[in-house]
Structure 1
Amino acid sequence: MQLFPLLLALPALLAPTVSARAETALSDPPVALAPSAVSCGGDFRAFLDGIAAEAKEQGQPASATDSWLTGAWPDPAVLKADRRQGIFRKPFLEFAQDLIGDTRLPKAQAAGEAHAATLARVEAQYGVPRELMLAIWGFETDFGSFQGDYNTRDALLTLAHDCRRPEMFRPQVMAAIELHARGDLPVSTTGAWAGEIGMVQMLPEDILARGVDGDSDGHVRLKTSAEDALMSGGNMLKHHGWQAGQPWLVEVVLPETFDWSLSGLENDMPVTQWAALGVAPRRGTTLPDSLTAALLLPQGRKGPAFLAFQNFRVLLEWNQSLTYVTTAAYFATLVGGAEPVLAGAPEPLLTLEEMQSLQRKLQALGHEVGRIDGVLGAGTRRAVREEQLRLGLPADSWPGRDLLELL
């Protein structure tokens, strides 16, 4: 489960493919315990020496470290995947249709029946409802059927050696060596390109800290045990602040004269205040008056509208892609019996080139938009809303061609 502050990977649920592999390996690299580590880049063999030295300092058995590192080699397919992730440019409705399709909901219902007892344990112990756990399980690995085909050892070492985020992945390598020493992570383990493992895709550090032996066999094995995976996932969500018995996402309808600048995850307000402004549940649901929520317009004022509660923010600790998390949270409501979302008629998403041009213009105006990657992330959304307000446009954070032309 991707419960960490950077978006790393989306399992190949849309179009699973076998990872490309380099034609030659760094076979049997030396694992002598060197006194210092290479921070990033440089000679891969020297990097492995540094990893071995650090593992020794942390008290890991030399036999386990040698076993883990012998035969390790950088995987160029991992670096390619790390630079990719264009799938997250899709708008919410299109992304949801692709990822949910016609089969995901029936599969979730079948998985819910087959694992009813474990899901009940998760809810009783961690407060995470069955529909949310089924949504995560379904989105991460299609209920365990596709858990990734990248060698976990090589993926983690590749990313720890790479200079983009070594400070994030080097600790994951250390945690993986400890799991290997415990007998819970064979060198042959495969998973996602960013090193996540098992049915709910957790990183080694998370497994060490939050993994649960759900089937009481003395091991935490997220690849083969649904009980371990679901209990561990529930434990992680509780750790990040999941509140039992509270909603995460409720579809709402808005008056035509609504002040769109109030939308966005930055604007939490009491539900009673939203109700006073004319925000109402689309069907039947009574909004919890005691809670606060933000108004989420994933495709602007002409698309679907949701109130996003604190539990939704917990899901953003799992994965920082707003589109991915919104889709997963919405799918959980479908699993729980909600009707399909009211799609509306949102304006088309800008093309990749147009979005990049918009980001450059926003950046030139002094806005922090992050990388010029064509993805409508949180920084770009905030900048769009500020410019919409300045130019007298409806400030719904959804960039249209009118804004691009005015800028």
Structure 2
Amino acid sequence: MRKSLMTRLAAAAFSTTLAISASALLPVPAAAQGVALTSCGNSGQGFAQWLELFKQQAVAQGVSPRAVSAALGGITYDANVVGADRGQKVFGQSFFEFSDRMVANYRIQQGRQLIQKNKALFDHIEQQFGVPGAVLVAFWGLETDFGAFMGDKQTIRSVASLAWDCRRAEMFRTQLMAILRIVERGDLTPQAMRGPWAGELGQFQFLPDHYLNYGVDFDGDGRVDLIRSTPDALASAANYIKALGWQRGQPWLEEVRVPSNLPWQQADLSIKLPRGQWAAMGVVRADGRPLPNDQLPASVLLPMGRNGPAFLVYPNFDVFTEWNNSLVYATSAAYLAARVAGAGPFNRGQGKAIPVLSQAQVVELQRLLNARGHHVGRVDGITGAATRQAVKVEQMRLGLPADSYPTPDLLAALRAGR
């Protein structure tokens, strides 16, 4: 299950700066600064020399030699971790494929049971942070099956290896420095830091800098332990979600029905209209009841295109895409939270077969879109926000229903040079 969560690291690119005042940092020796910040490698060669210079940099930035030695002493390069980082494919799955597997009935039932069993704890957390239990258990269930599978690799070795690798060196060096400060603070020992290959920690798979900056000692034992303390883990997740912009008491996602003549180009996460305006366009709740005629901002989300399920998503949905910028993951997490909160299973669509491009076809589509002047980002076979936006523009140009969903018809038109 853990393999399906690795690209969460891409969503954390916005948070690659530790909460340390630059003015408080000590000067870094020139040699250490030059190698630690600019050099990298695509193999283990040079890793040991770089790590020694990184240790010097850490001490220069105020980490004690004791903590540096405890954390980084004897660390060696792990080529398997670097290989795993370059081979991620899970978010090439469609929303149906991913949600069918991850939003399983046992997760829905166990999530509800955990909230009921620990009602006082969840109530206290919601009172303090404003985040409902259903949202917390959705992330908890998807990330680690409620703490059952947190990974068993040596976190420090994994992060150090990725910090040396050239693909995302700067990001992982930030994470490695955060690990040293977690050790310095006394929250975890280096031996206790075990997790998946990508270096995430604890029951909610926090990146180390998130652990450092958003971790909460909720059980009052004087340490932030997101591995063994469920109260700490839940409260820290709520603290992070609040920091991402969660609005207390507001919805995040609900299934709706959309009319066949909906202006499909309006179904876009970047387009937020008053809920009453969607109602005027013929959008109704899943059971056919009218939407409230109010000003609450909302977007129509069609994860499988106009013939698939339809959702109305609210500003709180943005938190799910901040947690993980994969739309497939974010929609699945929000849907799981809605199910835990009492919503029924979504309607799979209009009775028509919904085509799904293979990952190789999406790669081809991305290359064709780039050739037409679009910028879809990394050509990886994953239909992210930039790819969907480019798809929408091309659908509009070609006179196709502009629902942002990549189809064989669109691919064929672009292949033909239309």
TM-score (norm 2): 0.88
> 1: CA distance between counterparts of 2:292 and 2:55?
55
- Structure 1, gaps ≥5 residues long: 9-31
Deviations 1:205-253 (A, max 9, x none): 1122111101100000000000000000000011111000001111111
Deviations 1:3-29 (A, max 9, x none): 987247xxxxxxxxxxxxxxxxxxxxx
Shift of residue 154 of structure 1? 0.9
* Contact 1:3 1:236 (C-alpha < 8 Å) held by counterparts: no
Q: Which among 262, 281, 284 is matched to residue 280 of structure 1? A: 284
Which residue does 1:41 correspond to in 2?
40
Is 1:304 aligned to 2:309, yes or no? Answer: yes
Is 1:181 aligned to 2:184, yes or no? Answer: yes
Structure with the bigger percentage of helix: 2
* Contact 1:358 1:404 (C-alpha < 8 Å) held by counterparts: yes
> 1: CA distance between counterparts of 2:178 and 2:31?
19
* Change beyond 3 A, Cα 1:382–1:227: same
Which residue does 1:70 correspond to in 2?
73
Shift of residue 63 of structure 1? 1.1
> 1: CA distance between counterparts of 2:59 and 2:293?
53
> 2: CA distance between counterparts of 1:288 and 1:46?
64
SS at match of 1:289: coil
> 2: CA distance between counterparts of 1:201 and 1:123?
20
> 2: CA distance between counterparts of 1:143 and 1:153?
23
Give the alignment of 1:256-405 within 5 angstroms: 256-283=260-287, 286-287=291-292, 289-344=294-349, 345=352, 347-405=354-412
Is 1:58 aligned to 2:61, yes or no? Answer: yes
Aligned letter for 1:140? E
Is 1:97 aligned to 2:100, yes or no? Answer: yes
* Change beyond 3 A, Cα 1:271–1:178: same
Which residue does 1:229 correspond to in 2?
233
Deviations 1:316-367 (A, max 9, x none): 1111010001000000000011000011145221112211111111111001
SS at match of 2:10: coil
The count of aligned residue pairs is 385
Which residue does 2:26 correspond to in 1?
none
Which residue does 2:173 correspond to in 1?
170
Shift of residue 62 of structure 1? 0.5
Shift of residue 374 of structure 1? 1.1
Shift of residue 34 of structure 1? 6.6
SS at match of 2:261: coil
Give the alignment of 1:81-230 within 5 angstroms: 81-188=84-191, 189-230=193-234
* Change beyond 3 A, Cα 1:157–1:220: same
> 1: CA distance between counterparts of 2:332 and 2:292?
21
* Change beyond 3 A, Cα 1:108–1:114: same
* Change beyond 3 A, Cα 1:341–1:69: same
Runs of 4+ in 1 over 6 A off after TM superposition: 1-5
Deviations 1:68-98 (A, max 9, x none): 1111112222212212221111111221111
- Report % sequence identity: 44
* Contact 1:254 1:278 (C-alpha < 8 Å) held by counterparts: yes
* Contact 1:33 1:53 (C-alpha < 8 Å) held by counterparts: no
Aligned letter for 1:67? A
SS at match of 1:310: coil
- Structure 2, gaps ≥5 residues long: 13-28
Which residue does 1:22 correspond to in 2?
none
TM-score (norm 1): 0.90
Higher alpha-carbon deviation: 88-97 or 218-227: 88-97
Q: Which among 235, 252, 258 is matched to residue 254 of structure 1? A: 258
